[in-house]
Amino acid sequence: MTESNFSGLGLHEPLLRALRAEKYDRPTPIQERAIPKLLAGKDLLGIAQTGTGKTAAFGLPILQTLAADRRRPEPRTARALILAPTRELAIQIGEALRTYGRHLSLRQALVYGGVNQRRQVDAMRRGVDILIATPGRLLDLMNQRHVRLDGVRHFVLDEADRMLDMGFIHDVKKIVAALPTERQTLFFSATMPNAVSRLAGSILTDPVRVAVTPSATPVERIEQSVYFVPAAEKRALLAEILSDPALDRTIVFTRTKHRANRVADQLGKAGISAEAIHGNKSQGARQRALEGFRGGKVRVLVATDIAARGIDIDGVTHVINFELPNVAEDYVHRIGRTARAGADGAAISFCDPAEQAHLSGIEALTKRRLTVARGEPTRQAPANTNRKQARPTKPSRRRRSRPQKARRAA
């Protein structure tokens, strides 16, 4: 397919030119279904995970609508507000919108915590067309009267379920209360627990509902295995596995910030380039780690679940669960960092005796038993019986797909 598929959605030439330059040749399902409705001014309830193309699905019509209406924003206001749960996701959305809107001369600002607010205040002084923000810092600037929301005509709430998980739901409600009643609202969530469903119902007006999943789910597309190993032996096993050069861009997940630091330090002492990323790191340190990982200078990124949410980097060959997550759904989010843009990927999990209940929950959710790479569970549980036993060797060398720009808008 060619870019005419995007033009068939009603997008104008400046946006098509930007998409063509990025070699985005066809819309994803959520883009095909959402863009025409959003251009018509409808509210949207999108049930979609990272990797489905939702940023372009909401970003392209907002950019086009703002460009067509050349009114200037008033001081300290924004014409469109995009609310994201993490700094990393806010930054990635900002980068994507700059790419898509490179020919439109629209002003945008990023507002998030962990950095000095002076530049953010300066950026908002004249007003902007698009404001991308995290809830805490946005409320701070609103309370200081550096930001007004009375000019917002387009509001996007991204990853609403993660907002709930991170305790931002009350902040979100305060922000929504400050928005004009007359506006277009776009609401995105990967899951719809009751609290999120109630929030959606309270802020959307006659929305179009679009529910999509990635073209192939992580469970279907990713080679998954488990090593039964005592906690004290995990560090040595990690170094052994990473001695295989086939694992050349790997994300290692831990449950705590302290463990992430420890693992990254130990890998560094073993001669493996690694950086930790978590909530206690400064924004500058987190960005440097991500840029090093994206550029190939850092081979291993050691991350906690919240810090990794929204990270979308092509070419991740392996995900290693140094510690299994307490929540089974987080396992799916973790392994979804690999096998992107059609590339191969593998997920390796370490399971000590205390984590076997977590493993059972993961297998129940995914309806798939992980292939045993080494060892056996010390306490057999019904979900762990009759496993397929793999040869106790290191992960097979996988041919890495070259990092390339996604063929679809992300």
Q: Which domains does the chain have, with CATH numbers?
A: 4-211 (3.40.50.300), 218-384 (3.40.50.300)
Going through 263-394 in order, the beta strands assigned E by DSSP cover 274-277, 300-303, 318-321, 346-351, 371-374
| Residue 395 confidence class, pLDDT cut points 50, 70, 90 | very low
Contacts 24+ apart (CB under 8 A), 10-16: 10/35, 10/36, 10/39, 11/35, 11/60, 11/61, 11/64, 12/64, 12/67, 14/67, 14/103, 14/104, 15/60, 15/63, 15/64, 15/100, 15/101, 15/103, 15/104
Between 233 and 305, the more confident residue is: 233
pLDDT in tens, 248-280: 899 999 988 899 999 999 999 999 999 999 877
As a whole number, mean pLDDT of residues 345-369 equals 89
CB-hemisphere CA count at 13 Å for 334?
Answer: 32
pLDDT in tens, 157-215: 999 988 887 889 899 999 999 999 999 999 999 888 888 999 999 999 999 999 886 55
Q: Is residue 296 over pLDDT 80?
A: yes
Among 48-57, 264-273, 348-357, 398-407, the minimum mean pLDDT is found in 398-407
pLDDT at 115: 87
- The rounded distance, in Å, linking the Cα atoms of 308 and 87 is 11
The answer for residues whose C-beta is within 8 angstroms of residue 295's C-beta and 6 or more apart is: none
- The rounded distance, in Å, linking the Cα atoms of 24 and 62 is 18
Between 226 and 392, the more confident residue is: 226
Among 19-28, 242-251, 377-386, the minimum mean pLDDT is found in 377-386
Q: Is residue 140 over pLDDT 60?
A: yes
The percentage of residues in the chain with a pLDDT greater than 70, rounded to a whole number, is 86
Between 388 and 135, the more confident residue is: 135
- β-pairing, 44-47 vs 78-83, is unpaired
pLDDT at 323: 95
Q: Nearest CA to 366 among 322, 321, 319, 329?
A: 329
pLDDT in tens, 316-338: 889 999 999 887 778 887 888 88
Kindly report the pTM of this predicted structure.
0.65
pLDDT at 308: 65
Going through 233-306 in order, the beta strands assigned E by DSSP cover 250-253, 274-277, 300-303
**Which tokens belong to 74?**
């008033």
- What sign results for the dihedral spanned by CA atoms 213, 216, 219, 222? negative
As a whole number, mean pLDDT of residues 377-384 equals 50
